[in-house]
Amino acid sequence: MILNKNLEPITSMLIISALMLKVFTTIYHVLIITLLVMLDCHTDYAKILKAFYKGTEYQEMIEQAGYVLENSQKLMQDIYDMDQILHQMCSKLFKITKKLKTQEEQREEARVAYDHYRNKLQKMEKTHAKSTEAKKIDVYKRNVEKFNKSKSEFDTENSKLDKLMEQIQIKGEVIIDQICIRFTCEVESKFFIQLNKSFKKLEIIEQQMTEISQY
């Protein structure tokens, strides 16, 4: 249990980390959209070429190039899905960080009350607890009750805050995991390898077209 300690730096750090994750996923989102638009332009261009070369000796090759580009677009779906997942996870994380600020304030209020009765009781140990005056003993008892109540309230608020911070940490770790493992290994590398293969295929088609034009 953390007592008398200002938790604001810790919670602020958690919120900043969540924000950074949000910024990262937003950049990622923009990148995905740009790639999607780029591939869309290419497939549109392939359609124009297909119409243009219809009935010529290039027709078959242009059609093949169109298929290659369409396949690349399917690859984008994987990355796009990943983008959606990251976005949803970040939204959930943000909902918790909002709760965190409120909970931090509630804990602070409970801490102030708890500290107040703790100090008061400490002083009363000497003046009231061992007193022979019934009135003083009565006052002491009432303060013990108040102290007990404030202590249990503080414990409750503290454990609520602990749970929220733990949730943020776990959710943040899951997002980082998703970015590092799923995005980098699965999506990014898979995507680039596949795209590289597509470009190789396009190069071969281009070569065939050049050969035809040389006849």
The residues binding ligand NAG (CB under 6 A) are 144-145, 148, 192, 196, 200
DSSP single-letter state for residue 7? -
Q: How far is the CB of 38 from ligand NAG (least distance, A)?
A: 16
Which residue number, 103 or 198, has a Cβ lying nearer to ligand NAG?
198
Q: Buried b / exposed e across 67-90, counting CB within 10 Å, b at 16+?
A: ebbeebeebbebbbebbeebeebb
Q: How far is the CB of 144 from ligand NAG (least distance, A)?
A: 5
In whole angstroms, give the CA distance from residue 114 to residue 59.
82
Question: Do 136 and 128 touch, CB atoms closer than 8 A?
Answer: yes
DSSP-based three-state secondary structure for 6: coil
Which residue number, 10 or 113, has a Cβ lying nearer to ligand NAG?
113
Which residue number, 5 or 200, has a Cβ lying nearer to ligand NAG?
200
Q: How far is the CB of 148 from ligand NAG (least distance, A)?
A: 4
Q: How far is the CB of 106 from ligand NAG (least distance, A)?
A: 22
Expressed in angstroms, the distance from the first to the final Cα of the chain is 84
Q: How far is the CB of 189 from ligand NAG (least distance, A)?
A: 9
Which residue number, 58 or 191, has a Cβ lying nearer to ligand NAG?
191
In whole angstroms, give the CA distance from residue 153 to residue 147.
10
Which residue number, 84 or 189, has a Cβ lying nearer to ligand NAG?
189
